[in-house]
Amino acid sequence: MRWLTLATVIAAAGSFAVLLLSAWTLGTAVNLQFAAYWGLFFACTGVLGGLMQETTRAVGAAGRATAAHPGRTAAAGRGARPILVAAAVAAVTAAVFGLTGPLWLPLVVEEHLGAAVALMALGLGSYAMQAAVSGLLAAAGLWGQYAALIIVDILVRVALAAVAFQRGWGLIAFLVITVIGAASWLPLAAASPATRAALTARADVGPRRFTALMATAMVASGASALLVTGFATLVKLADDLGAGGTGPLGVPDPAVAAVTAAGIAYAVSLTRAPLLIPLEKFQNAIIVHFVRAEGAPLAALARPLAALVAFGVAGACLAWPVGPWILRVLPGDYMIPGAGLFALTLGATSTAVLMVTGSVMLATSHHRAYLAGWVLATAVACALLLAPGALLWRTAAAVIAAPLLGVALHLRILAKEATWPAG
C-alpha cells in the first residue's frame, strides 16, 4: 500500500505537470482543444472504469468466498473471466469510436481530426484491457504491480510532454500523450509472472450476471467521469452554446467579464489534478477494503471523509492566493480570480467525497444506488452549467452543489442499514 500511495502522488504530480507543459507549449486556443480532448479521453476511460471496479469487487468477493468455504471451488470455476469480457469490450469500444468519431469529434478538436479519431479508438480499446488488469491486480492484492502500472502510465506521458515542450511540438504530440499511457498493461503483463497469473482469475458470478453488473457500473462510471475528468469538455461545449460575462442573475460582473472559457476549462483541470486523479487510482483499494470489512458503513466512512474534506478545504484556501499567481506566469489568457479558484477547488472536494461514497456503494453491492447517485449529480451539474449567468459561476455551482446531492443520496441509503447486506 506504500507503493500505491506513492503511485497516486506521482499520478497527481505528473498530471499537473502535463497540463502545465501543454499551456507553455500550445497557444490558448489550441490548448483549449487539448484540454477538451484530454477531458473527453479520461471521461471515456472513466466509463470503462466500471469494468475495473466490478472486476475488483467480483474477483475479490470470489476469493473471499473461496477462502471461507473451500468446498465451493468447483462452483467458483463457473464464474466469468473478466479478462475475456474486457477483450470483447475493447473490440466494441475501438470499433464504435473509430466509426462514429468523425461525426462528433470536430466539436472537441478542430485540427488533425483523422489522427484524433484513430488515437481515441485505439487508446480506449487498450484502456479496456488495462481496466480489467487493474481490477484483477487489486483483487489479488498485488499492489506493487498495480502501483507500477499507475507509475508507468503517468511517467510515459510526462516524459513525452517534456520532449514536446523542448522541441515545440504541436497539438498532435499532445493527442498522442493523452492516450499512450493506456498501453502500460502490456509491458507489465510481459514482465510479471504474478500479473499473468492474476489474469486467469474468475468472478463470483457467471458471465451474464457479471456483464449486467459491469454495465451498471459502467453507466454510473460514465456519469462520474463527466464530473471527475470530463468537465473541461462540458465547459467548452457550454461556452459554444453561449456564455456571457454576467453574474448569476444576468447583472454585469466586471470580475469575470475577462475570464475566458479556455481559462475556466484549464482551471477545472488544474484544480482536479491534485485530488481527483490520485483518488481515482485509489478507488480499487477503497473497494477492496470495504469488501473485506464488516460493521456499520457510516462509521467506517466518518474518518476518511473528514480527512478528505479537511484536505480539500485547505487546498481551496491555498488556491485563492496562490492560484492566480500560477496562472499569471503561464503564457496565454488563463486568468481566473482567486474566489473562482477557491470555488473550483471546493468543487473538486465535493466530487472526491462522492467518489468515496460511490466506491462504498459498489463494495456493498448497492449497484443501483451507486448509479442513481452519480446520474443525479451529473444531471444537476449539466443543468446548472447551462443556466443563465457567467460561465465561471455556473461552473462553480455545478461542481460544488451537484456532487453533494449524490453524496446525500448515498449516505441516506447507507444510514438505513446497520450492517453490510448479506452476500
pLDDT digits (tens, 9 = 90+) for 8-51: 888 888 888 998 899 889 888 888 889 889 888 988 888 898 89
Give yes or no for a contact between 55 and 132, defined as CB atoms under 8 angstroms apart: yes
Q: Which residue has the higher pLDDT, 412 or 249?
A: 412
DSSP letters of 294-359? -S-HHHHHHHHHHHHHHHHHHHHHHHHHHHHHHHHTSSSS----HHHHHHHHHHHHHHHHHHHHHH
Q: What is the pLDDT of residues 183-223, one digit of tens each?
A: 999 999 999 999 999 999 999 889 999 999 899 888 877 77
Any idea how long the chain is? Answer: 423
Confidence of residue 163 (pLDDT cuts 50, 70, 90): very high
The whole-number pLDDT of residue 2 equals: 77
Which of 114, 95, 139 is closest to 292 using CA atoms? 139
Q: Residue 1 — very low, low, confident or very high, per pLDDT cuts 50/70/90?
A: low
The cell for 411 is 449516505
Q: Which amino acid is at 48?
A: L
Q: In the predicted model, what is the mean pLDDT of residues 118-123?
A: 96
What is the identity of the amino acid at 340?
Answer: G
Determine contact, residues 178/38, Cβ cutoff 8 Å: yes
**For the packed helices 82-104 and 113-139, what is the interaxial angle rounded to 10 degrees?**
160
DSSP codes, 166-185: HHT--HHHHHHHHHHGGGTH
Question: What band does 69 get if pLDDT is binned at 50, 70 and 90?
Answer: low
> CA 238 to CA 73: how far, in whole Å?
53
- Using one digit for the tens of pLDDT, what is the confidence trace for 328-373? 877 767 788 899 999 999 999 999 999 999 888 887 878 888 889 9
C-alpha cell belonging to residue 418: 446497520
DSSP E strands: which ranges in 24-118?
Answer: none
Three cell numbers at 163? Answer: 520532449
Q: What is the pLDDT of residue 250?
A: 40
Give the span between the Cα atoms of 131 and 254, in whole angstroms: 45
Q: Is the pLDDT of residue 253 over 70?
A: no
Q: Which letter does DSSP use for residue 418 in this model?
A: S
Pick the closest to residue 67 from 291, 297, 364 (CA basis). Answer: 291
Q: Which of 248, 266, 250 is nearest to 341 (CA)?
A: 266
Cell matching residue 70: 473451500
Q: Are 150 and 10 in contact, with CB atoms under 8 Å apart? A: yes
Cα 373 from Cα 338, distance rounded (Å): 30
Q: What is the grid cell recorded at 369?
A: 444506488
